[in-house]
Structure 1
Amino acid sequence: MPKGWPERAAGYTTRVHSGLGLLRQLLPLARDPLARVTTLNSAAAVHVFTALGRDFVFLTDPLLINDMLVDRRGHFEKGVFYDRVRRLAGNGVVLANGEEHGRQRDYLDRFFKRDHVVGLSEVMIDVVRAELAVWDTVLDIDAALHRMTFKILAATMFGAEIGHAEFDRIHEWLGLVLEAIMFRTVAPAWYLRIPTKRNRRHDNAMDRLRAAITTAMTAPEGADPDRLDLISVMRTVRGTDGKPLSADEMADQIVAVTMAGAETAATALSWLTVELARDSALQETLRAESAAAKDRGVPYSPDLAETPVLKQVLSELLRCRQPILVISRRTTHDTELRGLSLPAGTEVMYSPWAMHRDRTHFPAGAAFEPETFGSNGCPVAKGTYTPFGLGPRHCVGEQYAWQMMWIVVAELLAAVRIEKATAQHPDGRPLATIIPGTVDAQVRRMPTAAGEPS
């Protein structure tokens, strides 16, 4: 038993596990991570594992989580889970720490500010409509939404166009990379240095995906100079030495933003189609609400104030189908959370997926119930609902994500009726995100003119 932890964790329901206990947790975590994390979340407020001279802490108390994310600026950096994907994402905004993270946020905020996001609406709409126009009546709607979100990011952020061949190259490696990320979060660091067949395959997949994304997303010099795409923003950035960003630094940002933005959005939207296929009445309500907003001339914007039912639905979707299983942080020096002392170098983890499904905070649990979020939101304790994170590391693209989801859902429902959407993994398969896998769907075209049959 780690010396001192019962005292350091005084006041909280605490489970202290030995090094062997960590191994016993990791093995079932690799086999059935969703069930294992759910068990941890309900068993104690603080779990402590010590192995190889290092402390690992798993938090389930929302106030501790809130203090870590919001009130301890400079006390935490991205943790071990993020270390394992640096080969893919380098030191982009998702992985950067300290002053470097602040520097990157400063110039990214120029792109993600609300007015600029609203100005991207027409580009988003054009991409969505073009993709919907080529949908078959029978399709894998998950793959189709991944293609759509990648193309939205390419057009709005990078001033580029992704063809089918380019996307196919990206999608070819994406699945294996998502598998690699999940595996590497539970495998010991020493094992990852051994050139096993699996490690070589994962390294190769990360290198190929990074190359494919960078090539596809990088707009040529001088392309559309009046448009403030992310590449253009990055070309104006200068470091403390007065030099522009290097090609590798720009590639880091491209991959980080693309993986964070496209993968999570597409996964969430795929789960939404599964839910809407089960509830034709809700589908019709959303279709009517979006059409009414369009008739009133309401512009797309991140706040969704004019489409309150859609806002409830998407808020609930990000609760019960939160795509992120576990988030990690690491203490940069000795710190304290509400009397819980954490030595420097402690790996601290929590599960937004498990927290969002905890019936202590959300009576609906794993069920999709849009009524969870009424007109006044859903009053819960701080740290309980974190779809985009909290504090200085909250998602820089949150407003972009809300607007993109509104546009995709509104345009999709205007174009088709979802008659079937069956997930390959109905309870979710945890990789880098908790995915549905293939979503076998049937859609029917909506009337395009008066009197035309649907």
Structure 2
Amino acid sequence: MSVDSAVSNGAERAAAPQLAGLPLLGSLLDLTSDSLGTYLRAQHRHGDVVRISAGPPGLRAELHCVFSPEGAQRVLASESANFRKDNPFYQEIRDSFGNGLLTSQDEDYLRQRRLVQPLFTKRRVDGYAAAVAAETAQTLESWQEAVDSVVDVQVEMTHLALRAVARILFGTDVEATVAVVDRCFPVITEYVLRRGYSPANVPRSWPTPANRRAAAALDELYGVCDRIIAERRGAGAVAREGEDLLTLLAAAQSTDDASFDADELREQVLIFLLAGHETTATSLTFALHLLAKDPASQDRAREEVSRVLGDRTPEAADLERLPYLTQVLKEAMRLFPAAPVIGRQAVAEAEIDGHVIPAGATVILAPWVTHRHPEHWPDPERFDPDRFTPEAEAARARYAWFPFGGGPRACIGQHFSMLESVIALAMTLRAYAFEAVDTEVPVAAGITLRATGPARCRIRPLRPAP
């Protein structure tokens, strides 16, 4: 419906209500110290469309936050062409990680998606199950040496997810890649965050300490990717079953879209490394953390795993045979979505839930808030995997839960993420029982959701590690 009309459903449309802030800085300090809590407070006080101003006069940003499932559906799906990835935060990601699938737009995005889509079919992704199982087995075996039988599942799941995606991307070139990513990603992501949320930034070319640290980390990360890409291309990559993803990417081409050049290949690899390990690590971390605090749910999930798998290694076909384990993961992704905040920019004026979104406005969707919306999630902070039975899902609004985004820009790797998460969680629960040491794990919104404190669990072996 156009906003040219002054009346909508018999009521005059109005600007969204504004969250109160400081006279000079608005809500800048609140967003800097606790953005997720600030968005929750905005929804609780003012409803599903709220304006938040942040920054000093002259540099002030005004965010239009949309918290309802219906609003999220309009921004991501039904009116997605009007809401673009043009905000400063996405530009900082582009400047560091390149213009891959996460950040590209228009014909660039469509071309990349057409080239990459055949590599993410269900059949192709299912072929990565063995690699995930092998990396999980190695992680579980290492826990036999855990000091005082305590592991930090955030650290362990991040390492597991990184090794798994590196093995799938690079095949045998895992060790060198993991070491570089471990060293460089934290430096780069912190740099992107600081610049993405700052009202003003100095040029990246200026030799400030922060710029120099980030440039050195990017040079090292680019170097390892470029070396492996050059080796693949020198070997004459041909796409075959069982090849690593980089070989398949290097061979990807079509009559209309040609193929990726070396820079484009690196950009896709970096985005897959970033999105492919941090998101899955978050889901696994909090699934284990929540089960460690809920022995009944943990026992129920383990019983299902034991009944379905016995002693054998899980396979891709087991995903549909483990419905309760899948429900556990979905509930963990509800409470701790790996992408807790999604940004867009409105091209033209729009109307959402009776409020005007001006042309050019920065629009914020917050799965962190929508996943706790009291109209759709009774007792929203309670962990309850039965929220995701088929009947419960069918009765709920489509965008009440959207950890993988939605619409034409929905995450291309969501089947891979679920495959990896179910296999890793099944093997882990079969091998160990968990008891929470840290009952609360503080988190913050970065490029993805990140734990800002430990997520330690006491583990008890149930069988020899595989």
State TM-score, norm by structure 2.
0.83
2:127 corresponding residue in structure 1: 119
What letter matches 1:322 in structure 2?
Answer: P
Q: Which moved more, 1:144-153 or 1:241-250?
A: 241-250
1:433 corresponding residue in structure 2: 448
- Residue 152 (structure 1) aligned with residue 164 (structure 2): yes
Q: Distance in 2 between matches of 1:241 and 1:412?
A: 45
What letter matches 1:69 in structure 2?
Answer: L
Q: Distance in 2 between matches of 1:38 and 1:60?
A: 9
Instruction: Please tell me whether the aligned partners of residues 283 and 421 of structure 2 are also in contact (alpha carbons under 8 angstroms).
Output: no
| Correspondences of 1:22-101 after superposition (within 5 Å) | 23-42=25-44, 43-48=46-51, 56-80=63-87, 81-101=89-109
- Render the CA deviation track for 1:195-251: whole Å, top value 9, x for unaligned: 585642663376257437726975832479633432223223448897642221111
Two-structure CA RMSD over aligned residues (Å): 3.5
Name structure 1 gaps, 5 residues minimum.
450-454
Residue aligned with 1:47, SS: strand
Instruction: Please tell me whether the aligned partners of residues 238 and 247 of structure 2 are also in contact (alpha carbons under 8 angstroms).
Output: no
1:139 corresponding residue in structure 2: 151
Residues 117, 131 of structure 1: CA spacing in aligned structure 2 closer, same or farther, 3 A cutoff?
same
The number of residue pairs the alignment matches comes to 444
Q: Distance in 1 between matches of 2:61 and 2:438?
A: 43
- Render the CA deviation track for 1:327-349: whole Å, top value 9, x for unaligned: 11123445555765545432211
Residue aligned with 2:399, SS: coil
1:452 corresponding residue in structure 2: none
Residues 267, 217 of structure 1: CA spacing in aligned structure 2 closer, same or farther, 3 A cutoff?
farther
2:415 corresponding residue in structure 1: 399
Residue aligned with 1:32, SS: helix
Q: Which moved more, 1:31-40 or 1:151-160?
A: 151-160
Q: Which moved more, 1:396-405 or 1:74-83?
A: 74-83
Residues 59, 12 of structure 1: CA spacing in aligned structure 2 closer, same or farther, 3 A cutoff?
farther
- Render the CA deviation track for 1:296-328: whole Å, top value 9, x for unaligned: 989633883311211211111111111223111
Instruction: Please tell me whether the aligned partners of residues 308 and 321 of structure 2 are also in contact (alpha carbons under 8 angstroms).
Output: yes
Q: Which moved more, 1:354-363 or 1:186-195?
A: 186-195
Residues 49, 147 of structure 1: CA spacing in aligned structure 2 closer, same or farther, 3 A cutoff?
closer
Q: Which moved more, 1:140-149 or 1:299-308?
A: 299-308
Between the aligned residues of both structures, percent identity stands at: 26
State TM-score, norm by structure 1.
0.85
Q: Distance in 1 between matches of 2:82 and 2:178?
A: 39
Offset at residue 393 of structure 1 (A): 0.6
Instruction: Please tell me whether the aligned partners of residues 312 and 374 of structure 1 are also in contact (alpha carbons under 8 angstroms).
Output: yes
Instruction: Please tell me whether the aligned partners of residues 76 and 331 of structure 1 are also in contact (alpha carbons under 8 angstroms).
Output: yes
- Residue 162 (structure 1) aligned with residue 165 (structure 2): no
What letter matches 2:67 in structure 1?
Answer: T
| Correspondences of 1:1-400 after superposition (within 5 Å) | 10-11=12-13, 14-16=16-18, 23-42=25-44, 43-48=46-51, 56-80=63-87, 81-135=89-143, 136-137=145-146, 138-163=150-175, 166-190=177-201, 195=206, 199-200=210-211, 203-204=214-215, 207-208=218-219, 210-211=221-222, 214=225, 218=229, 220-221=231-232, 222=235, 226=240, 227-238=242-253, 244-295=259-310, 300-301=315-316, 304-335=319-350, 337=352, 342-378=357-393, 379-400=395-416
Q: Distance in 1 between matches of 2:65 and 2:318?
A: 33
Instruction: Please tell me whether the aligned partners of residues 77 and 98 of structure 1 are also in contact (alpha carbons under 8 angstroms).
Output: no
